[in-house]
Amino acid sequence: MQQFLFNNDKNAADKKALIITKKNNQQVLSKPQQTFNRLIKKIEKLQTELRTTTSELDGKLIFYAKHIYPLNIELAGARKQLLKKLYAIYKNKAIRLFDQRKFLKELIKSQMETYLEEEQQPDDEIKSIFKELFNKSYDAALKEEMDDYLEDIKSNMETMFEEAGFSMNFDDLHNGMTPEEIIERAKKMEEEFYRQTGEKEKALRKKTKKQLEREEKEKQVEAAKAKNVSSIYKQLAKIFHPDLEQDPDLKMQKEELMKQLTIAYENNDLPTLLRLELQWVQKEENAGNTASNEQLSIYNQILKEQVDGLEDEIAGIYEHPHTLPFKNLFRHPGS
């Protein structure tokens, strides 16, 4: 689940966002401050969209489970009975003309294929009918289908890597994998392909001065992130330490804050540390602009990563396995 920088509980939607405002002697906000505010608003919007989309999807799941799924079960049962009755007619040879028997057999095979798309565990009687119709056991046919599916994926991935001059080990693709596991592994291979391709292209290209400066800045941001985990923790530990508080109510609040702070520090969780820091600054000084532009640039980098994460989560919400049964019934607005 996405961990939001300034919203860390189920009532987050009701809380006021941390927005930087101008001081009395400040004419305009600096560019990092403007970026900070813009990213905060975008995160709020994405959080709302994620909650709304998730809520809508939950409603669709409930509707499907209550109204559609029982009908699908009923339909599968009716199709199963139809198969058995058609097969009984076919077996007792009441229909003797060759063309008619051939047509009936093809009809039963078609109904069988449709039924097996809905029912993954047919009973022994259906399996017996399947064997006579297709001249192979159901289990053998299922294994053959999975083998072909796996070979197609291997072939496509091998071709893609070979054409790019890379090699990839496909030994971990095996017949015991579920279709979902195979798809997930194929996605990881594809990601690895594009990663290696990008690295190869970078190595072949001479980097410009601007590219080198950008890479150096990225290194500085990463170094600053690592440094700030420790510095923010030490700074807030002095403020939140409950032993230094005389007021009983504030002491209890600080005990809880100190627990959150310690857990965040142990997990190297910079977003939570930033949230705690900025929330405290806003509470004590009623301003979010006490941070320097350099510090805000680091915050903004983290906020951008959070925006990307939220966008990915929203884009992938309809790809979740639990939506597969009704994916074609309820289309994602962006699809």
Predicted pLDDT at 15: 41
pLDDT digits (tens, 9 = 90+) for 125-146: 999 999 988 999 988 888 888 7
Concatenating the DSSP letter of every residue in 217-271 gives HHHHHHHHHHHHHHHHHHHHHHHH-GGG--SHHHHHHHHHHHHHHHHHHHTT-HH
What is residue 5's predicted lDDT score, i.e. its pLDDT? 32
What whole-number distance in Å separates Cα of residue 253 and Cα of residue 246? 12
Note whether 254 and 242 are within 8 A (CB). Answer: yes
To the nearest whole number, what is the mean pLDDT of the chain? 75
Give the pLDDT score at 1: 36
Segment among 96-100, 114-118, 215-219, 246-250 with least mean pLDDT: 215-219
Give 94's pLDDT tier (boundaries 50, 70, 90): confident
d(CA 145, CA 8) in angstroms, rounded, equals: 46
Q: Is 117 helix (H, G, I), strand (E, B) or coil?
A: helix
Q: Is the pLDDT of residue 12 over 50?
A: no
Q: CA–CA distance from 238 to each of 117, 209, 266 (Å)?
A: 63, 43, 17
% residues pLDDT > 90 (the chain): 9
| Furthest-apart CA atoms within the chain: distance in Å | 99
Residue 254's pLDDT is what? 86
Please report which helix (H) or strand (E) contains residue 86, including its range: helix 69-91
pLDDT of 130 reads 92
Residue-wise pLDDT for 37-56, tens only, equals 888 788 889 989 999 988 98
The pLDDT value recorded for residue 85 is 92
Helices vs strands, H then E, count in the chain: 10, 0
Q: Which residue has the higher pLDDT, 183 or 6?
A: 183
pLDDT at position 128, please? 92
Contacts 24+ apart (CB under 8 A), 151-154: 153/182, 153/186
pLDDT at 328: 59
One-letter amino acid for residue 23 of the chain? K
Specify which of 161-175, 187-201, 262-276 reaches the highest per-range mean pLDDT: 262-276
The confidence band for 168, taking pLDDT boundaries of 50, 70 and 90, is low
- Give the tens place of pLDDT for each residue, 201-221: 555 555 666 766 677 767 766
The Cα 289–Cα 36 span in angstroms is 10
Q: Which residues contact 146 (CB under 8 A, 6 or more apart)?
A: 175, 179
pLDDT exceeds 80 at position 107: yes
The position carrying tokens 């230094």 is 244
